[in-house]
Structure 1
């Protein structure tokens, strides 16, 4: 099978179940942004390959599971309203994110002010992933407001994912000695 089909050359693409829509359709933008967040997480994690710290194996396993779930969230978003979703996001997936947020956050210095995305390359990359996840969340909210979202948990998951990515960025900085740069309000 070839990677190119030429079927999208006129600005249309297929959703799951074959429905054709414009490539700038809100549904396509939503799942495309999940894909972008997933790729961004992968780039951030690639900066950790050469690093060693006590919790690295566990951290990477959590992040790879999140990438897998995020791929499935994209598939949910690519499924037209009313059609059967093959894999469905569940409340347990959100609970698991919260567990990891709490686990990593308990070891972090409490924030007294905003911080700039910075520090170790992986940390800065996770901050970038966080902003992309927030954009995916906004698009899912728009899809929901149009009555086109199959599973309302998608919005909650993306919201919590961005929280996790923020804490993960701080956690990586702490584990690897990255510098957190506080926002200077009087610039």
Structure 2
């Protein structure tokens, strides 16, 4: 194979990693999610609902955690157990606040901020799938990375519901034709 061209303007030093090395893909995706979280934070900052200041501060902390997670597969995991626990507690707290106003499945809809949170939630699942692809290919993934990525997805789902509640938007129930929920 001929030597690959390397642009003198290369946007990120690992873009030319071997195609079977998905670490760069993980880093690009987490960078995108940090950017989308920053965008969601800006949307919340421009909002007027009562809780917006607290959510803006929380999203800054979440954004920092995403950036700390970013190099974890290339270097080491630096997110602490207490930070993971904080994220879990925030997820559970929003679950409690929104539990009464939702069915099992809801459409990913509502306020602009909630819709942005739903997009972020879904993209975390793409990352989890990438981690499994790496694991199947023989790259050992630290369990904490799996836990964090799955928890981030759950956090942004609960945040979407919480944002709709804060903005007085009613969730739209969705009844799947394929997955029947026992009542």
State the TM-score, normalized to the length of structure 1.
0.78
> What do residues 31-76 of structure 1 show as CA deviations (whole Å, max 9, x unaligned)?
1111122222222222222212333222222211111111111121
Distance in 2 of aligned mates of 1:24 and 1:127: 29
1:47 matches 2:37: no
- Cα distance change of structure 1 residues 64 and 23 upon mapping to structure 2, 3 Å threshold: farther
- For structure 2, the 5+ residue unaligned runs are 1-5, 178-183
Partner in structure 1 of residue 167 of structure 2: 176
Partner residue of 2:93 out of 100, 103, 107: 103
Partner in structure 2 of residue 92 of structure 1: 82
The answer to whether the 8 Å contact 1:119/1:173 transfers is yes
Partner in structure 2 of residue 58 of structure 1: 54
- For structure 1, the 5+ residue unaligned runs are none
Structure holding more strand per residue: 1
- Cα distance change of structure 1 residues 122 and 24 upon mapping to structure 2, 3 Å threshold: farther
Distance in 2 of aligned mates of 1:76 and 1:120: 33
> What do residues 116-169 of structure 1 show as CA deviations (whole Å, max 9, x unaligned)?
111100000000000111111221232234343463311100001100100000
1:14 matches 2:5: no
Kindly state the Cα deviation for residue 184 of structure 1 after the two structures are TM-superposed.
4.6
Distance in 1 of aligned mates of 2:21 and 2:161: 35
The answer to whether the 8 Å contact 2:121/2:152 transfers is yes
Q: Secondary structure at the match of 2:104?
A: coil
Partner in structure 2 of residue 115 of structure 1: 106
- Kindly report which structure 2 residues correspond to 1:130-145, keeping only aligned pairs within 5 A, or say none: 130-145=121-136
1:153 matches 2:144: yes
Q: Secondary structure at the match of 1:48?
A: helix
Using the TM superposition, name which of 37-46 and 127-136 deviates more. 37-46
Q: Secondary structure at the match of 1:117?
A: coil
Kindly state the Cα deviation for residue 103 of structure 1 after the two structures are TM-superposed.
1.5
State the TM-score, normalized to the length of structure 2.
0.80
RMSD after superposition: 2.7
